Amino acid sequence: MGDHKEQPLRVGAAVRRRRRSLDLTLAVVAERSGLSVPFLSQIENDRARPSTASLEKVADALRTTAVELLAAADPACSVDVVRAEIAEAGPGPRSRSLVRGHHQMHASEFTGDHEAGREFQYRNDQLMYVADGAVEIEAEGRAYRLGRGDTLYLTGGVRHRWRATVPDTRIVVVAVAEHIEAVRDRKR
């Protein structure tokens, strides 16, 4: 009980993502679809559920189909449980997503080591939390040693790499999703 099940879809985020990817304003979509700007805003903010006919008009205005918008929709649930893996995986590095679907945040758990030389750079901010073990993280030309319970916050655009220094180290990384425009131009 309480696990993710089939839920009604929230099509608003899919409509907004598609509109923004085409660099269209709500006014342009309203003009193309024959629907009002306030109604389109309510759809994008999931305060109104469009009829099939209205969704088709929106899809046409966005040069896509209602089926494509529904396929890109988010499940309308505010609570989702992601269960831990029951069977222990074999030796070696492992990763798993802690969040299902297309959301504003992404979270992953990494266990073991990984390619220590691999450099990462994300568009948006992220938080690294050491759940077990220890890591060394190189960011902005400085090295940081983190142990169990320590966190490191990285703003978007920071190049970094990390490596586990203790076997079976577990790191949780929580980040603003890449499709979110959360970063302003930062003057360096």
Residue-wise pLDDT for 79-108, tens only, equals 667 777 654 555 666 777 787 766 677 788
Contact 182, 173 (CB under 8 A): no
Residue-wise pLDDT for 172-188, tens only, equals 999 887 766 665 544 44
What is the predicted pLDDT for the residue at 170?
Answer: 92
Instruction: Report the candidate in 169, 117, 174 with the shortest Cα–Cα distance to residue 151.
Output: 174
Identity (one letter) of the amino acid at 78?
S
Distance CA(60)–CA(42), nearest Å, equals 18
Q: Please state the pTM of the whole predicted model.
A: 0.57
Instruction: Report the candidate in 104, 76, 57 with the shortest Cα–Cα distance to residue 9.
Output: 76
Instruction: Report the candidate in 29, 161, 4, 163 with the shortest Cα–Cα distance to residue 12.
Output: 29
Residue-wise pLDDT for 106-165, tens only, equals 788 888 876 667 788 888 899 999 999 999 999 998 999 999 999 999 998 899 999 999
Residue-wise pLDDT for 21-70, tens only, equals 999 999 999 999 999 999 999 999 888 889 889 999 999 999 998 888 88
